[in-house]
Chain A
Amino acid sequence: DTGVSQDPRHKITKRGQNVTFRCDPISEHNRLYWYRQTLGQGPEFLTYFQNEAQLEKSRLLSDRFSAERPKGSFSTLEIQRTEQGDSAMYLCASSPGTSGDTQYFGPGTRLTVL
């Protein structure tokens, strides 16, 4: 399977703990995105990388959230001191970075904060 993969698929944690998610994009894609989706809503943009450079961050990305893409390949999203409001599906997408750039999504990581 050469699609976008995410790990883990599910994560249950207690409030105040730190969690880290990983995303592996489609290999030739140089753009990578993180979104958050809550029940009944569409995905909300969090941040975007062009290769290893983080070029945009949404105001939704509070100081407790940090994302990296150290070598321009896989990316990690860390949430520190989790809160119950962080419970959501975290989606990763990648795109080739060409004209009419299409984003392809991974299966998501479902986070539950108790």
Chain B
Amino acid sequence: LAKTTQPISMDSYEGQEVNITCSHNNIATNDYITWYQQFPSQGPRFIIQGYKTKVTNEVASLFIPADRKSSTLSLPRVSLSDTAVYYCLVGDLNSGYSTLTFGKGTMLLVSP
């Protein structure tokens, strides 16, 4: 069971780049890394997913080193609306969904 460790909270200011790192030392060969964003009283929203190296979409970038024991979610030029909880998940998305656990996530607070 791949367990993840993230900072409980982070603070930033509008316009800054934010990097949230997640540790997953016992990641398995078939595991993917997925990040979600969640606002209060809403369901989690998919941000980005990767297996290795770097993945970029219109919202964020995901950096995964060669050993895959950690990953970093990068949010460029954050705004106040990026204040949310960010979850890192690691799991084999094609089997064993009960092992896909969310943890407590990282509470990102963006200030003016």
Contacts and interface: CB of A to CB of B under 8 A. Distances in A.
Interface residues of B, number: 23
Contacts, number: 57
A105 B44 contact: yes
Interface SS, B side: loop
A92 B43 CA distance: 8
Interface residues of A, number: 28
A100 interface: yes
B41 A110 contact: yes
Contacts of B36: 105
A102 B94 CA distance: 10
A45 interface: yes
B93 interface: yes
Interface of B: 32, 34, 36, 41-46, 49, 51, 87, 93-94, 96-98, 100-105
